[in-house]
Structure 1
Amino acid sequence: MSTNHIINTIFGEFQKSLDQEQELREVIRGICKDVDQISREATTVLQVIHHDEAAVSSACLKARELFEKANAGYGKLKEVVPAAEYYKYQDHWRFMTQRYSYLISLTIWLETGILATHETVASVLGVSAEERKNGFHLDIEDYLVGLLNLCTELSRLAVNSVTRGDYNKPLQISKFVMELNAGFRLLNLKNDHLRKRFDALKYDVKKIEEVVYDLSIRGLLPKTSDN
């Protein structure tokens, strides 16, 4: 067998492998495009929290319906992405998943006032919370970025709540974000993107503190508050 024939055979296999990978990437892109569009719809639905308190409950219900659709989309991703190749293709869904982590966390906070755990967010999306055992999963760093995005949205909500005369909400937000901030400070963050995003949290904290301080000097803090 000639050397040329051997080389052609080897590189022919390389090309076959590259073509298969490209086909898989196209399938993943198609699924992610549809699932990402659902996240944008959920983002729009939840914007009502900034101007209509009475519509928050119905917005959360609508967001939950959209999360169910996203769950089905993530199910398709689990089917097509090889279990051992999660990180090879992660860039396709990383930012989308960070947005869902934020949206789910926001919805749960609006409904209950508590933190959505990593396991809870993973469950809503229909993926595993365990990184090493189950292939497709909710990466912890994506979950944490979602929480940081949540803090930014809540700092905005604190300002808009005062605008519409709700002086309790900023205090609730302040307590929650301060506790989250303390939790993040326990972490030794090595991921550059996550660390930079955490550095921005101090501005969200400052904005919320300014809102609460302004309420305090104006004598508008609720009398029953412990703050």
Structure 2
Amino acid sequence: MEAPPNSASLGKQFEDFRSHLNESGNLKDRIRAVAVEIESVTRLMHSYLLLVHQSKPVPEVLDTAKAQIIVLKELYDKLAGIVRECPGQYHGDWRSETQTAVTMLAFMHWLETGALLLHSEAQEKLGLTTPEFGLDVEDYLVGICFMSNELPRYVVNQVTAGDYDCPRKVMKFLTDLHAAFRMLNLRNDFLRKKFDGMKYDLRKVEEVYYDVKIRGLATVPINGNPVGSVLIASVHYNMTMYNVFSIYWSKFYCAFNMVLIFP
């Protein structure tokens, strides 16, 4: 049977524990302070982006929101300096803030290009380009799932403003995105639940699209170019009237010639 540790060695062990916990607590406090700043910036970005739901000009909204990307990049650079002291630890202390940052960046990118913000592009915008401190793939995927939540509301407001082609574009984007996610074997319960929510976003957009289409307001592509159904109906009407006029003109012309030949 081993001899019990003497009081001196026991005291030293717990003194080391106390020192370690103090250092750990200080690091977490510093990380949390930066995370709070990141959260504040993303909340500000979100408040700017909400203006697109009020039919504000998209370029104007994007210019205002993009100004905060530089601030985000500086904050992540500051966070990287702290994390170097404890590599691989305390990721949970800034995880949700990073997911929200990806959501804002992805929504801005979609508004500007109509395409998905890639993982490498998100890393570049946030300055998370080093092997020691990069953008976690699951954080990126969760952020993209959150971004899809913004699209049904955007579609409804755009249709209200008279953009009847918006549902078709968003439906195509979400259909492709949903299909891409289905390629993944999602073992993270939280991420899987967020992905499950994407199908409801897609369903809402589909309902708006079908409603617009049934009302005859949806656009129909002709030779690769979307043309409004109102314009199509107008073209059909004009062509029909032209054909009717041509038939009656032909009959009149034949009758007139018959009169000339057989007075």
The reply to whether TM is greater than 0.5 is yes
Q: Does structure 2 conserve the Cα–Cα contact (< 8 Å) formed by 1:170 and 1:211?
A: yes
Aligned-pair CA distance for 1:8: 1.0
Identical residues among aligned pairs (%): 36
Q: 1:84, 1:135 within 8 Å by CA — same for their partners in 2?
A: no
Deviations 1:118-166 (A, max 9, x none): 00011101102x7xxx122111111111111111101211111111111
Displacement after TM superposition at 1:184 (Å): 0.5
Q: TM-score, normalised by structure 2?
A: 0.80
1:142 aligns with 2:161: no
- Aligned residue number for residue 16 of structure 2: 13
Whole-angstrom distance in 2 between the partners of 1:191 and 1:138: 17
Post-superposition Cα deviations, 1:164-188, rounded to whole Å, max 9, x if no partner, equal 1111211111111110000011111
Find runs of 4+ consecutive structure 1 residues off by over 6 angstroms. none
Give 1 or 2 for the bigger CA radius of gyration: 2
Deviations 1:34-74 (A, max 9, x none): 111000000000001111242x1121112211011011000
Across the aligned residues of Structure 1 and Structure 2, the Cα RMSD in angstroms comes to 1.5
Asked whether the equivalents of residues 60 and 107 of structure 1 are also in contact (C-alpha less than 8 Å), the reply is yes
Q: Is residue 106–residue 117 contact of structure 2 (8 Å, CA) maintained in 1?
A: yes
Q: What amino acid is the match of 1:97?
A: T
Task: List alignment gaps of at least 5 residues for structure 1.
Answer: none
Per the alignment, residue 55 of structure 2 pairs with: 52
Please give the residue correspondences for 1:121-200 in structure 2 after superposition, counting only pairs within 5 Å: 121-128=122-129, 134-200=131-197
Cα pair 2:48 2:64 within 8 Å, conserved: yes
**Which gives a bigger RCO, structure 1 or 2 (Cα 8 Å, sep 6+)?**
1
Gaps of 5+ in 2: 228-263
TM-score by length of 1: 0.92
Quote the offset at 1:84 in angstroms: 6.0
Question: 1:42, 1:103 within 8 Å by CA — same for their partners in 2?
Answer: yes
In the TM superposition, residue 98 of structure 1 has moved relative to its aligned partner by 0.6
Give the drift of 1:202.
1.3
1:74 maps onto 2:76 in alignment: yes
Is 1:215 aligned to 2:212, yes or no? yes
* 2:36 matches 1:39: no
Q: CA deviation at 1:194?
A: 0.3
Contact 1:178 1:205 in 2 (8 A): yes
Q: Distance in 2 between matches of 1:37 and 1:81?
A: 20
Partner of 1:64: 66
1:28/1:92 contact within 8 Å kept: yes
What is the deviation of 1:83?
6.8
Task: Return the structure number with greater strand share.
Answer: 2
Letter aligned with residue 195 of structure 1? R
| Distance in 2 (alpha carbons) for counterparts of 1:5 and 1:174 | 70
Report the CA distance between 1:191 and its aligned residue.
0.2
Deviations 1:98-121 (A, max 9, x none): 111111011111111111100001
